[in-house]
Structure 1
Amino acid sequence: MDTDKVKIIEPTSGWQLVDFKELWRYKDLLYFLTLRGIKARYAQSIMGVSWAIIQPLFTTIVFTIVFGSLAKVDSDGMPYILFSYLALWPWNYFSGTLTESANSLVQNANMITKVYFPRMVLPLASILSKLLDFLIAFIVVIGLLIYFNVVPGWGLLFLPLLILQLLLTSLGIGMFLSALAVKYRDVKHALSFLVQLLLYAAPVVYSTTAVPEQYQKLYILNPMVGVIEGFRAAFLNRPMPWDWIWPGSIVAVIVFIFGMFYFRRMERIFADVA
């Protein structure tokens, strides 16, 4: 046998970087797993992709009635339904990716134990498959902007940066939770109510200005604070709140790097305990 053509796959050890070249070689697998995730979500569903609009829209209506009309929560002078939806739009993507990616390794245990491929493909495919819901939900944003006669400003140019921050945060936490869930199955049960609690740790139903000033320096370390307030500013033609965005951006990068290293460190035990 020609040993030059034999590749020996050994388990990783310690804290290692992701082999992005190897990940790129498996781009077709990533594509098909992403496509499979989209199809599985809407298989045998009467409403189909309409659920990507129905869920955030009806949640926004409930928030508008409870927090906007009854509780009279300040919405910074904008219609509460628009104020709320522009926050729920990125938040639903974030919360959805946490659930999907956290369960991605456990749900695909048969693949992990039978064939080799970069394990990071699984949480990455879960996160990419949710982008379709994110894009479809944008239709409601267009409708609300037209209804309230709001014209977005130049802040839309920074929208890709906000989406990148959203993706880094989702992928970083998703990789960490997926690796943790393989060893500790409690993660699946804890995540369901943890996501609900995190909703109120982000300015979804209220504005960041409602947070007492002495707590804002700590509060804006939450990457979703800058993302949500940035989305509002971009679509409502308001100044970009960079003081709220850049601290969360730094945290998002740190979370992504930590999640990546932790995933690689735990990768060697996936096939044993999955």
Structure 2
Amino acid sequence: MDLQKLKDFHLNIILQFIKRELITKYKGSYLGFLWTFITPILMITVYTFVFSEIFQAKWSSASQNKLEFAIILFCGLTTFNLFSEVISRSPSLILNNTNYVKKVVFPLEILPLVAVGTALVNSLISFVLLLLFKLLITSVISWSVILLPIILLPLLFFTLGLSWFLSSLGVYFRDINYIVGIGIQALMLLSPIFYPANAIPEQYRFLYNLNPITSYVEDTRNLLIWGYFPNLFGFFYHLIFGIFVCLVGYLWFRKTKRGFADIL
């Protein structure tokens, strides 16, 4: 099998696995795949009611739209969930697919790719619904939204690399699953999802700048909510960083997967 046929073979497996995961997730339910649309719609509705009617929250003192807080919050959470959905599953990816470990022809490297692809489909649906909701509220959607796939690239590379690393580590160190769970909760609270970045005290701002999720959330929000492209230097910096993490994670996985069969 030549290189191109091998790539096509792997791509076909990835797409089939993503399709299977999306179908299996809602198997047995009456509404099935429709829950992928219903869930974010319900989330937007709840956020809108709670933050606009109960808390009457505003993102900034300059904002006069009570509904704005809900869509800003939902945008940040959707971006973070793309990351957290993959990372929370990663330590158990190999452990939950031990039947593939001893199959010589099966490329275990695709399992994190499948996890990222599945999370991406769910997130894109949420982003589309977010934009429709924004259109209903503001009657405006910026042309810049077409750049969303580009903006998500640094996050996808970073998430995939971390997933390769954690899925391998989870085979050798089972406690990592609990550590990751706590880490995800901490990252969510330490990222500007529920509050703007300028609300962070100056003396702690450097800690938030070290958190890569901060830039991913801010860049996506700037693009979808306020309609402008992030700083190019910052974007390329995070893109290079994401690619670096991706390569390191892949090499780590390739090196350590040789011992999977012995442990499992």
Q: Does 1:87 align with 2:76?
A: yes
Question: Could you tell me which amino acid in structure 2 is paired with residue 263 of structure 1?
Answer: F
Q: Deviations over 1:191-225 (max 9, x none)?
A: 33322221112211111122234443442343322
Gaps of 5+ in 2: none
1:120-269 paired onto structure 2 within 5 Å: 120-242=109-231, 245-269=235-259
Structure-2 change in CA distance of 1:138 and 1:156 (3 Å): closer
Structure having greater relative contact order (Cα 8 Å, sep ≥ 6): 1
- Any idea what SS the aligned residue of 2:102 has? helix
Question: Could you tell me which amino acid in structure 2 is paired with residue 111 of structure 1?
Answer: Y
Question: Could you tell me which amino acid in structure 2 is paired with residue 44 of structure 1?
Answer: G
Q: 1:42 aligns with which of 26, 39, 50?
A: 26
Gaps of 5+ in 1: 6-18
State the superposition RMSD in angstroms.
3.1
| Identity, % of aligned positions | 27
Q: TM-score, normalised by structure 2?
A: 0.82
Q: 2:87 aligns with which of 98, 107, 110?
A: 98
- Any idea what SS the aligned residue of 2:94 has? helix
- Any idea what SS the aligned residue of 1:86 has? helix
Q: Deviations over 1:210-261 (max 9, x none)?
A: 2234443442343322222122221223443427645433432232122112
Q: TM-score, normalised by structure 1?
A: 0.79
- Any idea what SS the aligned residue of 1:175 has? helix
**What number of residue pairs does the alignment pair up?**
257
Deviates more, 1:63-72 or 1:242-251: 63-72
Matches of 1:67 and 1:219, distance apart in 2 = 27
1:85: how far off?
0.9
